[in-house]
Amino acid sequence: MKRTKIAEILRTEPVNTEVCVKGWVKAFRNNQFMALNDGSCAQNLQVVVDFEHADPALIDRIKFGAAVGARGQLVESQGKGQKVELKAAELEIYGDCNPEEFPLQPKKQSLEFLRDIAHLRFRTNTFGALFRIRHALAFAIHKFFNDRGFCYLHTPIITASDAEGAGEMFRVTTLPLENIPRTETGEVDFGGDFFGRPTNLTVSGQLEAELGAMALGEVYTFGPTFRAENSNTTRHLAEFWMIEPEVAFADLNDNMDLAEAMLQEVIGYVLTHCAADLSILEERLIEEEKSKPQDQRSPMALTEKLRFVVDNRFERVTYTEAIEILKNSNPNKKGKFQFPIEGWGADLQSEHERYLVEKHFNKPVILTNYPAAIKAFYMRRDEAKDGVPGPTVSAMDILFPGIGEIVGGSQREERLDVLRQKMQDMHIPEEELYWYLDTRRFGSCPHAGFGLGFERLVLFVTGMGNIRDVIAFPRYPGSAEF
RNA sequence: GCCUCAUUAGCUCAGUUGGUUAGAGCGGCGGACUGUUAAUCCGUAGGUCCAAGGUUCAAGUCCUUGAUGAGGCGCCA
């Protein structure tokens, strides 16, 4: 008999029909009540076993974690806690699960322990909910761009340019590491390497996305991204997924509008489509925060926090205005900042960003028009402005409470002469990026785009604390298990 | 990479000023019960106290080094 997914059964409640379900045992109470979960939704289906007439050897194999199939009548439940249940006429054990060896237990287990058994943590309620939400977010992002006529562009994962300036890269090579070929001058001879030149894993698809936008108009990438930085934080991964839209004939304001609309729409999608999964994570968070002192608990529950982000405009502030706010802030005056605000020009530290987002504005903040000196070469130089001490670029960073920077983007420098000058100033070799400069030579136009760290978005939406817990198999310094 | 903290049963943790035989809850196992909701009740087993050195009559406890983990910072998405 064809199996029906539990999500389908709980939605349609086909009482008094015969159904077949297959899943994993979440609990077996009273020798009689099996809670079965097949991953299609957060809820379990209660399967009632006729223990008086069933084979005791079979009953004995119904253990936490076992894979089981059940066929029988779906009936209204006699007990409280569920509307319908399955009266099992036939049971089949697909895979036994020895409780003496199975690392998971039907109880709360720490996220750190579960990270060590990441191949099994999908089986927990928390990670089941989390990965369904992660999927919904990914889908909502594609839907958002598709609805607006964007073209999904697959940019290369292996790249030969190391001039992108987005951090340390992973080298890709087929050269024998135990016997590296050298040139006469002793340098590594990449002539015999697979691509005949040094190559790396991509740190960004942006430059290639710009090429696509210069013809397709509106494109976005959504792919794996790699950074070989020795970053040990709850917000960094060596392998993560990034969304990078790029829009022709768009300026910084269009860019901000797009990013804000996208974040609000995809979070809204999860609120309407993943209510049960969200409430599992919300409960988990509330439980976890019970052990924290009152003043360290979040002021809003998870769904309330998400609703707030969806319903309120993000605060848009220039870097120059932010410096003024920070300079006059209480923590700065009282010397509470580890890095005091000296004046215009320095990059903001995370304590400053946190103050702006979590204390001063208490909502997502878009910081714009940063000093040119602390931003990438491809960002568009602004016109000089009264009250702004130095040159700035049309950059924007979106800061979220608890996460920090979730989006980084800019209007791009479309003027060939200005771009070449900046590359020269920042020692970026023109010959390596001739193809990038060609877009400015032939039919250049104003355009803008941004990068969204997908795991940071998942982190925010699920309320998890560590980015290593929102990707199935995290890669970070010293860790590439599974 | 830097700073702080942690590592004791399968899991989560307690362990006093260095002092006899190392404790709990949950989980496991055995049994009872049988409309339960992380079922309940009774019983029971389970330990290289992260590793290696050191101090001491005596180390889970103090010191040194290392490993692993967590949190913070930097880099950034």
The ipTM value here is 0.91
What is the value of pTM for the model shown? 0.95
A468: the nucleotide nearest its CA (via C1') is B70
Q: Which nucleotides of B are covered by protein (CB under 7 A)?
A: 1-3, 10-13, 26-29, 33-39, 68-77
Residue lying closest to nucleotide B11, CA to C1': A109
Where b means 16+ CB within 10 Å and e means fewer, A326-355 reads beebebbeeeebeeebeeeeeebeeebbbb
For residue A24, the cross-strand partners are A37, A67
Nucleotide nearest to A204 (CA to C1'): B77
Q: How far is the CA of A166 from the C1' of B66 (A)?
A: 34
CA of A5 to C1' of B4 (A): 49
Give the dihedral of Cα atoms A5, A10, A15, A20; nearest 10 deg.
20
Give the strands of the sheet with A171-172, arranged side by side: A158-159, A199-201, A171-172
Q: Give which of A209, A216, A203, A147 is closest to A448, Cα–Cα.
A: A209
Q: Which nucleotide is nearest to A112 (CA to C1')?
A: B69
Separation of A476 CA and B17 C1' (Å): 43
Any idea which nucleotide's C1' is nearest the CA of A76? B35
CA distance A412 to A430: 17
Q: Name residue, tokens 């060609």.
A: A438
**Å separating the CA of residue A99 from the C1' of nucleotide B45:** 15
Q: How far apart (Å, rounded) are the C-alpha atoms in residues A144 and A457?
A: 15
pLDDT by residue, tens only, chain A of 482 residues? 899 999 999 999 999 999 999 999 999 999 899 999 999 999 999 999 998 888 888 999 999 999 999 999 999 999 888 999 999 999 999 999 999 999 999 888 999 999 999 999 999 999 999 999 999 999 999 999 999 999 999 999 999 876 666 678 999 999 998 899 999 998 899 999 999 999 999 999 999 999 999 999 999 999 999 999 999 999 999 999 999 999 999 999 999 999 999 999 999 999 999 999 999 999 999 888 877 767 677 788 999 999 999 999 999 999 999 999 999 999 998 888 889 988 899 999 999 999 999 999 999 999 999 999 999 999 999 999 999 999 999 999 999 998 999 999 999 999 999 999 999 998 888 988 999 999 999 999 999 999 999 999 999 999 999 999 999 999 999 889 88
Tokens, residue A350:
């995370």
Residues for chain A: how many in total? 482
Residue A167 in contact with residue A194, Cβ under 8 Å?
A: no
3-class secondary structure, A459 = helix
Q: Distance, angstroms, CA A120 to C1' B59?
A: 38
The beta-carbon contacts of A207-210 under 8 Å, at least 24 apart in sequence, are A207/A161, A207/A164, A207/A378, A207/A433, A207/A436, A208/A153, A208/A155, A208/A156, A209/A153, A209/A155, A209/A244, A209/A245, A209/A246, A209/A449, A210/A246, A210/A412, A210/A436, A210/A439, A210/A447, A210/A449
Asked if residues A21 and A48 have their Cβ atoms less than 8 Å apart, the reply is no
The tokens describing A173, both together, are 């090579």
Across all strands, nucleotide nearest A225 (CA–C1'):
B77
What SS3 class is residue A465? coil
Structure tokens of A465? 């604390």
Q: How far, in Å, is the CA of A91 from the C1' of nucleotide B29?
A: 25
**Strand pairing partners for A48?**
A33, A87
Two tokens, residue A237: 């991964």
Nearest nt (C1') to A206 (CA)? B77
A202: left (phi over 0), alpha (psi -120 to 50) or beta: beta
CA A116 to C1' B60 (Å) is 25
What residues are paired with A317 via a beta bridge?
Answer: A367
Give the three-class secondary structure for A435: helix
Nucleotide nearest to A81 (CA to C1'): B37
Per DSSP, A175 falls in state S
**CA distance linking residue A270 with residue A140, whole number of Å:** 8
Report the 3 state secondary structure along A34-83. Answer: EEEECCCCCCCEEEECCCCCCCHHHHCCCCCCCEEEEEEEEEECCCCCCC
Task: Give the separation between CA A4 and CA A426, rounded to whole angstroms.
Answer: 60
In chain A, the largest separation of any two C-alpha atoms, in whole Å, equals 87
- Give the CA-to-C1' distance from A61 to B31 in angstroms: 18
